[in-house]
Amino acid sequence: MFSFDMFEVIIVGFIYSIILSVLVVFIQYINPRILLQSYPKSIQEKVMGKSKKEQMHTKIFGSIFMILSFGIPLLYAIYLDNLYSLSYMEIWIVSFIIINIFNLVDLVIIDWIIICKVTPSFTVIPGTDGHPDYKNYLFHIKGFGAGVLFSIIGSLLIATIVYVLF
């Protein structure tokens, strides 16, 4: 059906997920306020805005995250296209699957298990201990939906770049 190995794509998706998940957890461990914009509004409203240093860290880590989240699927799509001369749709499918594996890992492992279920202290914004929205599973489902939208658009962009330029 496809001119590429779907099992390999799934494996790459899990490797991609490990890389991005480690980065997200590392950022939270350094200072969860770096990801303040990713927390529910009710938690954000309980604390002061980000300091200049936190804003700088948000830009640095956000840039690293975006480069990796777009760059890894792009490079892998280029690699597969060089091997198999993929169609536009195949490039889109590969990118979409890789990005959405992370989206699902982020939802289930980081959001639901680590944040909602376990809620380790390094994920809690100082001054918001015990806030009920740390257990808000629906908030994370909405974030998953936004991730699906991002993966549709990102995969279209990756497919266009690879198909046109390579």
Domain boundaries, the chain: 6-165
Which parts of the chain fold into alpha helices (H)? 6-30, 41-44, 52-84, 88-105, 137-165
* Cα–Cα distance measured from residue 39 to residue 153, given in angstroms and rounded to the nearest whole number: 23
* Cα–Cα distance measured from residue 46 to residue 51, given in angstroms and rounded to the nearest whole number: 15
What average pLDDT does range 91-111 have in this prediction?
98
Residues 7-40: pLDDT tens digits? 999 999 999 999 999 999 999 999 999 999 999 9
Handedness of CA 113, 117, 121, 126 (dihedral sign): positive
What is the torsion angle, in degrees rounded to the nearest 10, for the CA atoms of residue 27, residue 30, residue 31 and residue 35?
0
Q: Sorting pLDDT into bands at 50, 70 and 90, what band is 138?
A: very high
